[in-house]
Structure 1
Amino acid sequence: MTEHATATQAAEPADRTEDLLVTQEGGVATLTLNRERSRNAINIGMYRALPDLLRTLDADPDVKVVIIRGAGDKSFASGADIKEFEQERSDATKAKNYNEKVAAAEHAIEEMSKPTIAMIHGFCIGGGAGLALSCDIRFADTNAKFAITPAKLGLVYSLESTKRVVDLAGPSRAKWILMSGLQIQAQRALELGLFDELLAPEELETYTYEFAATVASRAQFSVRAGKVMVGKVTTGQVADDQATLDLRNSSFDTVDFAEGVRSFMEKRPPVFTWTGADG
């Protein structure tokens, strides 16, 4: 893949980091947590840089799907960088500021209009799990290990982060995960709904990128609207309102709807062109 951008454009020098890399091939962008020597532990600079970087990807009409992964094949992310905690979380005021940066990074992933896929090799622990759970889909290898560890550090998981666990695993299993802080093996994480697919380590990358390319080839208005609809369901909406009716009905005015019908009638693959750039 060709290098597309790096996370070195944040507003302040303190927010700059070489620890986030973005590459792009076709409509698929890859955001890599680039600290392989520390098992891709997430430092405060990475948390600070993620929102602007993700907003840039979301605004790029050439990007249709974003894959988030860790450098190498041993770890997605081993957690937040605990070596920073004595400095960055040494009192309630500093901890509040740190927690806000973490929440902003997770929100930026969750609130992207485009699909996000976490590709999980190996360790997906603590803050790494937080980022992965913020993605729309999680594919993992059979060596993956998942854990959410506040109970091992004397911390409290946020309500929004807790909801993501409950949405996937259910309330009692979420309690088991949060109360124990135990590492969950890949097969069990799949059974709990924390992972969506489980692949051999040598197959994970190919499968993930082929799936991303498939999604990128679909009608993007439909893809993004589907994400909106699922989001509304998970926040408790159970019936259409005017916004969801308008969203559904507006699809009939897109160039992709016309192309989808035309290609079906002509018995050929569709060529979808809607990117959202024109509103």
Structure 2
Amino acid sequence: MSATDPILVERRGGVGVVTFNNPARHNAMSLAMWRDAAAAVATFADDDTVRCVVLTGAGNKAFVAGADISKFENERASVEHIEVYNEAVSTYHKTVQGLMKPTIARIDGYCIGGGLAIALDCDIRICSEDARFAVPAAKLGIGYAFEGVRRLYDIVGPQFVAEIFYTARQFDAEEARIMGLVNRVVPKAELDDAIWPLAERIAGNAPLSIAAVKHSLMELAKPQKDWDLEAVNRTVAKCFDSQDYKEGRTAFMEKRKPNFTGQ
């Protein structure tokens, strides 16, 4: 991996980190970035040593500021090109949404358009006080797909979806917190102090227990008629038949920190 790669991938103990690396353009997404980011997340899905994944942007100006318009002439110049591009975007979102591990969006600066969609894929969103959020589709004549609207609707509700899309304006961090778009807002200098201890704390908890909750959250994101409760119940039952369940009880009785293995 090179510092010039469009997507940077690293592991910090039990935490996997995906960095959108296009700071000259506020980490705007190209076709290659969508593809490489999906591949990075898929790699973490198969790595049992990674128990939490953090998504972040390079530099301190942006998380992701939408699509890289400078690439449109080559990447979205025809119907065929647009279909290829949209497929890459769809694959990325499906990969993150299907990850059976906790995800955290570390949002510093601009989180616009497709960048907001990336953040919405995550379980937890924490931003700096100078973060800015927007979906500028109405300024560009873009029709926004139902699934994207629905995902935002599930998080902030109809009244804020209407305001976000109808006005196409930028919302500041405090407005995002009030809407429920982010879990919390912290001073810019304290963003890392909020993110990494949280990610490490999650990574230190029982992976099977967290996977059971993640499975429920994934089902709840679907229409009720599509819920697979039997599958969720199997994930829950797996916890009680695990060595981690025994380890958790033993550590509690011995007043020590548990050593969970995911087994």
Give the TM-score of the pair, scaled to structure 2. Answer: 0.93
1:44-100 CA-to-partner distances (Å, cap 9, x unmatched) read 111122222211111111111111101111111111101222332233332222112
| One-letter amino acid of the structure 1 residue matched with residue 40 of structure 2 | L
Match of 2:140 in 1: 153
What aligned pairs does 1:55-134 form with structure 2 within 5 A after superposition? 55-134=42-121
CA–CA separation in structure 1 for the residues paired with 2:173 and 2:12: 29
**C-alpha contact 2:109 2:128 (8 A) present in aligned 1:** yes
Determine the structure 2 residue equivalent to 1:137: 124
Shift of 1:247: 2.1
> SS state of the match for residue 224, structure 2?
coil
Deviates more, 1:80-89 or 1:117-126: 80-89
Q: Separation in 2 of the partners of 1:234 and 1:241?
A: 13
Task: Find the aligned partners of 2:228 and 2:31 in 1 and give their Cα distance.
Answer: 40
Task: Write the mapping of 1:7-86 to structure 2, written as runs, cut at 5 A.
Answer: 18-86=5-73
2:252 to 264, 274, 279: 264
**Contact 1:124–1:146 at 8 Å: present in 2 too?**
yes
Gaps of 5+ in 1: 8-16
In the alignment, does 2:236 pair up with 1:223?
no
Partner Cα separation in structure 2 for residue 61 and residue 133 of structure 1: 24
Give the 3-state SS of the residue equivalent to 1:22 in structure 2: strand
Tell me the distance in 1 between the aligned counterparts of 2:192 and 2:229: 39
Out of 228-237 and 190-199, give the one that drifted further: 228-237
State the match for 2:156 in structure 1.
169
Identity of matched residues, %: 36
- Counterpart pick for 1:207 among 194, 209, 215: 194
Distance in 1 between residues matched to 2:232 and 2:65, nearest whole Å: 39
CA distance in 2, matches of 1:98, 1:241: 34
Equivalent position SS for 2:247: helix
Q: Deviations over 1:176-219 (max 9, x none)?
A: 21222111111001111111111000101111000000000100
Deviation at 1:167, TM superposition (A): 0.8
Match of 1:187 in 2: 174
Cα distance change on mapping 1:6 and 1:130 into 2, 3 Å: farther
Structure 2 Cα separation of the partners of residues 6 and 237 of structure 1? 44
* 1:261 partner letter: R
Secondary structure of 1:206's counterpart equals helix
Is 1:241 matched up with 2:248?
A: no
What is the CA distance between 1:240 and its match in structure 2? 8.0
Q: Secondary structure at the match of 2:29?
A: coil
1:104-148 deviation per Cα after TM superposition (whole angstroms, max 9, x unaligned): 112211111111111000100111111111111111000000011
Contact 2:135 2:164 in 1 (8 A): yes
The runs of at least 4 aligned residues of structure 1 exceeding 4 Å deviation read: none
CA shift, 1:6, in A, is 6.4
Moved more, 25-34 or 234-243: 234-243
Q: Secondary structure at the match of 1:80?
A: coil
Unaligned runs of 5+ in 2: none
The number of residue pairs the alignment matches comes to: 262
Q: TM-score, normalised by structure 1?
A: 0.88
Distance in 2 between the 1:86 and 1:32 partners? 25
| Distance across 2 between alignment mates of 1:18 and 1:34 | 7
SS in 1 for 2:259: coil
- Going from structure 1 to structure 2, the CA distance change for 1:266 and 1:184 (only over 3 Å counts) comes to same
